[in-house]
Amino acid sequence: MSVLVVLIVVLFAFYLFYKTKYIRSNRPVEKKWLSAKSSIALGLFVSIFGINILFISQLMMTYIVAALFIIYGGFFTWIGFKKYKHYLPFAIQEAELYEAQK
């Protein structure tokens, strides 16, 4: 269970890291790419939080809430991964173009 807590903290730190990079970025495609990475981190955070809830209490309401968290987090992770794969080539192209202009 302590492994899950460490993962929750690390994933939340990654989420904050990517959101900070998103705010500081000036390139539009890079912003979308960083937003996708932060969605992946947020989705994994919520899913693992839901898994962690299962170990805390064995009530029926806990199972329902945990299932909602796991499904919601999985959805965020899946959508974020699809966006990440979509924007990655464009972000690379944008970075190369930006470096060529320097």
Give the domain extent around 32: 2-101
Task: Tell me what the mean pLDDT of segment 19-25 comes to.
Answer: 95
pTM equals 0.90
Rounded (5°) CA angle 96-41-3:
130
Number of structural domains (the chain) is: 1
Express as a percent the part of the chain with pLDDT over 70.
99
Answer whether 22's CB lies under 8 Å from 35's CB.
Answer: yes
Of the candidates 47, 27, 40, 45, the residue with the CA atom closest to the CA atom of residue 92: 27
Question: Which pLDDT does position 4 carry in this prediction?
Answer: 92
Chain position carrying tokens 């192209």: 93
